[in-house]
Amino acid sequence: MALVVNEEQQMLKESARGFLAEHAPISEVRAQRDSGSELGYSPALWGKMADMGWAAILVPEQFGGLAFGHVGMGQIIEETGRTLTASPLISTAILGVTLINLAGSDSQKAELLGKIANGDLTLALAIDEGTQHSPANTKMSASKQDGEYVLNGTKRYVIDGSSADNLIVVTRTSGNPGDLKGISLFNVNSDTNGINIERTNMIDGHNSSIITFTDVHVDENSLLGEFDRGFRPLSTALDVANVHLACELLGIAQESFDITLKYMKERKQFGTLIGSFQALQHRAASWWSEIELCKSIVLKALQSLDEGDAKSPALASIAKAKLCEIVELSTNEAIQLHGGIGMTDEYDIGFFIKRARPAQMLYGGYSYHADRYALISGY
Amino acid sequence: MSNLDSFRLETRDWLEDNCPETMRKPMKTADDGCWGGRNFTFKSEDQKLWMDRMGEKGWTAPEWPTEYGGGGLSKAQHKILKEEMARIKARSPLESFGIWMIGPALLKFGSEALKQQHLPPIVRGEIRWCQGYSEPNAGSDLAGLQSKGVDMGDHLLANGQKVWTSYGDKADWMFCLLRTDPDAKKQMGISLVLFDMKTPGVKPKPIKLISGSSPFCETFLDDVRVEKDQIVGEINQGWTIAKYLLTHEREMIGGMGLTGAGSKTLGSLAIDSLGTTFGRLNDLFLRTEVAKWEIDAAAFACTAERANDEAKAGQGVGATSAMLKYYGTELNKRRFETLLKVGGSDELIWDGDLSKNDGWMAKTWLRTKGNSIEGGTSEVQLNIIAKNILGLG
């Protein structure tokens, strides 16, 4: 397959850009923050996104979805990266849908996917328990009692934890922390007795929570996928989420670069444009080159997801790692090359670095994914 | 069956009948390459046979017009030829600066007479070319070149010195930049001329590098007679042609891929050399270096692929070759720094029986330091990106 975005995918990208320019330009980021948004995103905007069909993109057609594929979805996500727009897209339309597609029973798919596609149901994955991403080290327990399961434990950095209708909870049903076997997934209503959700105000203003589960009783139908065998679908779903996070990071990197390049062509000091200084020209040129590498590896990873080929796990980690490296470079350079105003709250450029780091850390940053890629490669 | 399909079958049949078995193996080193020319010592009869047969068909220069000896193929047909050759692992029949550099320049800028004179011998591998561009005082600032071409009425008289002439001591003809108008503004007084290396006064002298012997030479020009009909394009209009050629050279270097990559990845070499404990390399810091390189190399390979696919689809940014040359050469340098460390002290043995492959790794590591200098330094490539792509300065 040619490593290019096709016409349809390009149209989706352009329509996403237009939609966001009209309904969620970057000024919305400041407005959301300053108004102390309860949900961490705009429900009205989510409704409009659902009307555009964005919640349905990865849902199979038989459940009311568009099945447009990952390359298409990735174009939308990249654009949301440019405008730093918060929404349930990653947690619900990508991660939630993928988990249900992979692990859900026919009745679970029928019950959940249609509602998601309409924008009527949101999900949050409750996975990490410590400060570093480590799915295999799940300690949170789910013990089988009288035909029910009882959940106990704590989850941290749960994106959309305080706004989602349902939580998909990663638990250990057998074995020890570190074992890949013995992990089970549960689809749980966030209103369930015993669940305590505390929203944390993160540096990017997005929605994240610390959730404690104290003797939370859930029925057998809550089990998503096979008992003790949740790691495989979870790992695949995390690959998918990471590739799309890489898309968001790509949007952030590109927009930071574009804004900075524009500034270099406007700002004058010492009687000339700062863009005429060779040191800055070289910095911009090598930065641009790195972004070109990012565009390429993200597209490769998206295409691999659509093909469902064996290279996807390695490509997902390569893409996430590379994007983490370069979005870090981009957001740092953007501030430095703006000089003093880059440090002001009044200027928008500071929002990019604040969103980049949480997105980098989510489901594994550079160190996690470089390590994972090396392990996959045998070293 | 479409025309292209029948072309594929004909090509497949012709290759089967005409490509010798020994030519169906990849080349191990640059020494295995066939460069042709008057002085070439063929490694085997098969090597000459393969060059002759492909040359006669014009498939050493597949897309050149048939009236100059080329294959006259379309881009689509050329792609098929490449695929069919790859299918039987047929190696390139001819390495040639004539095909890669001066030929395309002559096709675009040369007179009919020059095209008729020089292109067919290039295609047949009879004449081997070298490039007379850089001078000791004109490298990155090539337009500052000072070798003179003085108008003597019925010929030019060339005097000066060229440097970094690849295969200068083996080539038959040189394409050379001379200053033919010393009073004109820098770029405006330069001409591109052609002459036989056997012309009295032409003296190539090999240059030894930190990595050992090299194909590079200095070339001294001492009252060399250059015929006026061997000026490419117009006199004093050589700079435009020179730039066109340099873009080709940059694409050639950028497209070369990683040195001696072979089939073993950096990671697998590291496993062999360092060993692992619980699945991780025994040197954890070097492990990071290896993983970082492989991540960047994967992203770079995708970038070269995407640039190629976008060009075919009519999308993409021009001057991408500067970025590919810059990043690719820096990546190659990093690879050998890591390879040397992974290989350890045995790789430091320079030559002799106890060395590995006659010190190949250390010599290649040193040679890669030139990658970011030749064909336009990394700093020059960044200038090009900044100016032509980013619109800065």
> Which residues sit opposite A150 in a β-bridge?
A143, A217
A36 lies in the same domain as A131? no
Given CB atoms, is A284 within the 8 Å cutoff of chain B?
A: yes
Residue A95 in any domain: the answer is: yes
A277 lies in the same domain as A362? yes
Q: Which structural domain, as residue segments, surrounds residue A72? A: 7-121
Report whether pLDDT(B314) > 90.
no
Token reading at A73: 């979805």
d(CA A290, CA B296): 9
Residue A229: exposed, middle, or buried by beta-carbon count in 10 A (0-12, 13-18, 19+)?
A: middle
Given CB atoms, is A285 within the 8 Å cutoff of chain B?
A: yes
pLDDT (tens digit per residue) in A33-86: 998 888 999 999 999 999 999 999 999 999 999 999 999 999 999 999 999 999
Q: Which of B79, B284, B285, B306 to mutate to test the interface with A (most CBs of A within 10 A)?
A: B306
Residue A16 in any domain: the answer is: yes
Check B281 against A374: CB less than 8 A apart.
Answer: yes
A107 lies in the same domain as A171? no
B288, B309, B382 member nearest A286 (Cβ):
B382
A137 lies in the same domain as A215? yes
Residues in contact with B254: Cβ distance below 8 Å, sequence separation at least 6, in sequence order: B304, B321, B324, B325, B328
Token reading at B137: 């005082």
pLDDT (tens digit per residue) in B156-168: 999 999 999 999 9
Given CB atoms, is A275 within the 8 Å cutoff of chain B?
A: yes
Residue A183 in any domain: the answer is: yes
A329 lies in the same domain as A365? yes
Q: How far is CA B389 from CA A363, B241, B315, in A?
A: 35, 22, 14
- Residues in chain A closer than 8 A to B270 (CB atoms): 379
Closest residue by Cα to residue A180 from A223, A237, A230: A230
Residue A58's domain is classified under what CATH number?
1.10.540.10
A32: phi then psi, degrees, rounded to nearest 5: -60, -45
Report whether pLDDT(B228) > 60.
yes
pLDDT (tens digit per residue) in A333-363: 999 999 999 999 999 999 999 999 999 999 9
d(CA A178, CA A186): 19
Residue A346 in any domain: the answer is: yes
In angstroms, the separation between the Cα of residue A275 and the nearest Cα of chain B is 6
d(CA A310, CA A80): 29
Cα torsion B216, B221, B225, B230 to 10°: value is 40
Look at residues A91, A121, A151 and tell me which one is the last residue of a structural domain. Answer: A121
A42: left (phi over 0), alpha (psi -120 to 50) or beta: beta
Residue A1 in any domain: the answer is: no
A289, A300, A318 member nearest B326 (Cβ):
A289
**SS3 annotation, A86-138:** CCCHHHHHHHHHHHHHHHCCHHHHHHHHHHHHHCCCCEEEECCCCCCCCHHHC
> Which residues sit opposite B276 in a β-bridge?
B281
Q: Read off the pLDDT band of B29 (50, 70, 90).
A: confident
Given CB atoms, is B311 within the 8 Å cutoff of chain A?
A: no
- Residues in chain B closer than 8 A to A333 (CB atoms): none
d(CA A217, CA A146): 11
Check A293 against B300: CB less than 8 A apart.
Answer: yes
pLDDT (tens digit per residue) in B367-386: 999 999 998 999 999 999 99
A168 lies in the same domain as A251? no
Check B309 against A3: CB less than 8 A apart.
Answer: yes
Q: Read off the pLDDT band of A118 (50, 70, 90).
A: very high
Q: Read off the pLDDT band of B313 (50, 70, 90).
A: confident
Residues in contact with A374: Cβ distance below 8 Å, sequence separation at least 6, in sequence order: B267, B280, B281, B287, B290, B291, B294
A253 lies in the same domain as A329? yes
Q: How far is CA B227 from CA A60, B112, B178, in A?
A: 73, 16, 13
Q: How many domains does chain A have?
A: 3
Task: Kindly identify which residue of chain B lies nearest to residue A298, measuring between CA atoms.
Answer: B299
A371 lies in the same domain as A242? yes
> Which residues sit opposite B225 in a β-bridge?
B157
Percent of the residues in chain A that have a pLDDT greater than 70, as a whole number = 100
A138 lies in the same domain as A97? no
pLDDT (tens digit per residue) in A205-260: 898 999 999 999 999 999 999 999 999 999 999 999 999 999 999 999 999 999 99
Residue A102 in any domain: the answer is: yes
Given CB atoms, is B295 within the 8 Å cutoff of chain A?
A: yes
Give the pLDDT score at B213: 87
Cα torsion B74, B75, B81, B83 to 10°: value is -160
Question: Helix, strand, coil shares of chain A as percentages rounded to 5?
Answer: 55, 15, 30
Cα torsion B80, B82, B86, B87 to 10°: value is 20
Check A293 against B306: CB less than 8 A apart.
Answer: no
A188 lies in the same domain as A321? no
pLDDT (tens digit per residue) in B315-344: 776 678 899 999 999 999 999 999 999 999
Check B292 against A265: CB less than 8 A apart.
Answer: no
Closest residue by Cα to residue A327 from A282, A372, A297, A302: A297
Q: Read off the pLDDT band of B262 (50, 70, 90).
A: low
pLDDT (tens digit per residue) in B34-87: 999 999 999 999 999 999 999 999 999 999 999 999 999 998 999 999 999 999
Report whether pLDDT(A108) > 60.
yes
Look at residues A172, A203, A229 and tell me which one is the last residue of a structural domain. Answer: A229
- Residues in chain B closer than 8 A to A370 (CB atoms): 288, 291-292, 295
pLDDT (tens digit per residue) in A295-346: 999 999 999 999 999 999 999 999 999 999 999 999 999 999 999 999 999 9
Check B383 against A282: CB less than 8 A apart.
Answer: yes
Q: Read off the pLDDT band of A116 (50, 70, 90).
A: very high
Give the pLDDT score at A364: 98
Check A370 against B389: CB less than 8 A apart.
Answer: no
Question: Helix, strand, coil shares of chain B as percentages rounded to 5?
Answer: 50, 15, 35
Closest residue by Cα to residue A371 from A314, A299, A297, A311: A314
d(CA B229, CA B194): 9
Check B393 against A275: CB less than 8 A apart.
Answer: yes
What domains sit in chain B, N to C, each tagged with a CATH number? Answer: 3-94 (1.10.540), 129-237 (2.40.110.10), 255-389 (1.20.140.10)
Closest residue by Cα to residue A253 from A288, A286, A285: A288
Residues in contact with A280: Cβ distance below 8 Å, sequence separation at least 6, in sequence order: A264, A274, A337, B392
Report whether pLDDT(B261) > 60.
no
Could you tell me the maximum CA-CA distance found in chain B, to the nearest angstrom?
79
Question: Which of 253-292 (B) contact A at CB < 8 A?
Answer: 265, 267-268, 270-271, 276, 279-281, 287-288, 290-292
Check A296 against B302: CB less than 8 A apart.
Answer: yes
Q: Which whole number is the average pLDDT over A124-139?
A: 97
Percent of the residues in chain B that have a pLDDT greater than 90, as a whole number = 87
- Residues in chain B closer than 8 A to A285 (CB atoms): 323, 326, 381-383, 385-386, 389-390
Give the 3-state secondary structure of residue B232. Answer: strand
Given CB atoms, is A65 within the 8 Å cutoff of chain B?
A: no
Token reading at B208: 């030894």
Check B296 against A375: CB less than 8 A apart.
Answer: no
Check B323 against A292: CB less than 8 A apart.
Answer: yes
A4, A321, A379 member nearest B295 (Cβ):
A321
Given CB atoms, is A279 within the 8 Å cutoff of chain B?
A: no
Give the pLDDT score at B256: 63
pLDDT (tens digit per residue) in A177-194: 999 999 999 999 999 999
Closest residue by Cα to residue A282 from B334, B380, B376: B380
Q: Which whole number is the average pLDDT over A111-119?
A: 97
d(CA B268, CA B257): 19
Closest residue by Cα to residue B380 from B327, B326, B333: B326
Q: How far is CA B216 from CA B47, B210, B370, in A?
A: 24, 12, 12
Query: How many Cα atoms sit within 13 Å of A371 on the Cβ side?
Result: 12
A111 lies in the same domain as A163? no
Q: What is the DSSP string of A252-297?
A: HHHHHHHHHHHHHTT-EETTEEGGG-HHHHHHHHHHHHHHHHHHHH
In angstroms, the separation between the Cα of residue A288 and the nearest Cα of chain B is 9
Residue A178's domain is classified under what CATH number?
2.40.110.10
Give the pLDDT score at B218: 98
In angstroms, the separation between the Cα of residue A255 and the nearest Cα of chain B is 14
Residue A254 in any domain: the answer is: yes
A53 lies in the same domain as A32? yes
Q: Read off the pLDDT band of B249 (50, 70, 90).
A: confident
Residues in contact with B134: Cβ distance below 8 Å, sequence separation at least 6, in sequence order: B142, B145, B162, B163, B164
Residue A2 in any domain: the answer is: no
Percent of the residues in chain A that have a pLDDT greater than 90, as a whole number = 97
Closest residue by Cα to residue B299 from B342, B263, B328, B326: B328
Give the pLDDT score at B96: 94
Residue A250's domain is classified under what CATH number?
1.20.140.10
Look at residues A170, A194, A229 and tell me which one is the last residue of a structural domain. Answer: A229
